[in-house]
Amino acid sequence: MADLVVSPEQARARVMRPADYVSCPTAFIDCKKPGSHLKQNYSMIGPGVTTSTDQVVNLREPHGFNIGAAAMPTGITNNLHIHFTAEVFMVFGGDFTFRWGDNGADGAFTGHDGDILSVPTWIFRGFVNAGPPEAMVFTTLGGDDTGGIIWHPSIITEAAQYGLYLTKDNILVDTATGAAPPPPEERIDLMGAEEIARLRHYSVAEMRRRVVTVADRVWSADALLDSCLPGHASEIAPVIGFGISQDRDHAAPITNPHGFSHEWLRLAPGQSVSRFRIAEKQVLLAHTGAFTVTLNAPGHEVALPLEAWGMVSVPAHAWRSIRNDSDSPAELLVITAGDGRKIPEWPAETVAAARAMGRAVDRSGMIAPAHLLPNYVIGQQSVAKAKETP
């Protein structure tokens, strides 16, 4: 199998800088509700749950998940709604208070910069910017097609006062643009009180187990095969599901299937994760610092600068390396498709260098003492050398 080679043009199209994000102020039915009218919705990877045909999507290629974001002035609210697939909130740069349950009365949690919250499906949730206006909350949504959302009936009823209607096809109709209100039989049905009463209630304690704050992170400096090598010291802190960590004692705090995994990756200045590849699509979302992500094998390298709050989408089976170009420790969020284990494949030179340091990878993909593994196991880890194109 020949190596996948990502052309420079293809690679650059997979980089999204904050300046490339395009907001839509009319993405949702509550966009004219006082106290919610200044929201900005972004769709970076996939359309997410937007109901506006004006929404700009930076990269429409299916990934198995969607990534978007919301920004709003202090005090502005995103109103109560239900998701059918996973919804994970990642707080960048500020403070957001999340509420859940009918009327948002079951509980509240305020997330700060770097905190992550996974809200269960089929419960109402909403949030408000409780901090500086420059903050942003990124979201990862499960699946390529999220199925849209269900709004709290009070929101749909109030929206009609401002000429906004939602059709059964999940299309937002704004009569202020000259469009006619859809006939009643074409409008989305309101969720009934009995149906709302049957929804599960989550206590504050239960929801707290679905939160990973900055203080909650558990870092491992032995999470990747190459982390023992000079210049390649890295740390990983799992958040959701099975990611790329090769530390057998590492476990994510949030374990239910999402369709993707989340891990924090931290690098000291000048350190890098050496070249590896996996069978799944992966997005690298920079939280702090500046990085260079280099795609492809030697002879075909394409170096991509990655700034804070920007992201790079890496194709499945593509070689990639990650270097911290900052003067201080920097971290990024690694979001990888799928609920199963992701097994990094390392080139032969990395396998040999790690073996010289006494490290290898066992048949489960975990780091182990090299001297305890049969030679044929370690030898098969070098299959990458045979696959490389001249």
Which pLDDT score, from 0 to 100, does residue 53 have?
Answer: 86
Overall pTM > 0.85: yes
Give 111's DSSP letter: E
What pLDDT does residue 380 have? 56
* CATH 2.60.120.10 domain extents, the chain: 8-212, 225-387
CATH superfamily of 225-387: Jelly Rolls (2.60.120.10)
- pLDDT value of position 51: 87
Residue 192 DSSP symbol: P
**Nearest of 292, 346, 283, 335 to residue 311 by alpha carbon:** 283
Give the closest residue to 92 by CA, choosing from 68, 114, 65. 114
User: DSSP letter at 85?
Assistant: S
Residue 249 amino acid letter = D
Mean pLDDT of each 10-residue bin along the chain, 390 residues long = 90 98 92 92 96 93 98 96 98 98 96 98 98 96 96 95 93 93 95 96 98 98 98 98 97 97 98 98 98 97 98 98 98 98 95 95 94 77 42
Spatial contact of 236 and 307, defined as CB atoms under 8 Å apart:
no
pLDDT at 188: 94
Q: What pLDDT, on the 0 to 100 scale, is given for residue 73?
A: 96
Q: Whose structure tokens read 């949690």?
A: 109
CA angle 354, 360, 362 (to 5 degrees): 165
pLDDT (0 to 100) of residue 383: 45
Beta-carbon contacts of residue 211 (< 8 Å; ≥ 6 apart): 109, 111, 115, 116, 117, 118
CATH 3.40.50.10490 fits 8-212, yes or no: no
Q: Facing residues of 24 across strands?
A: 41
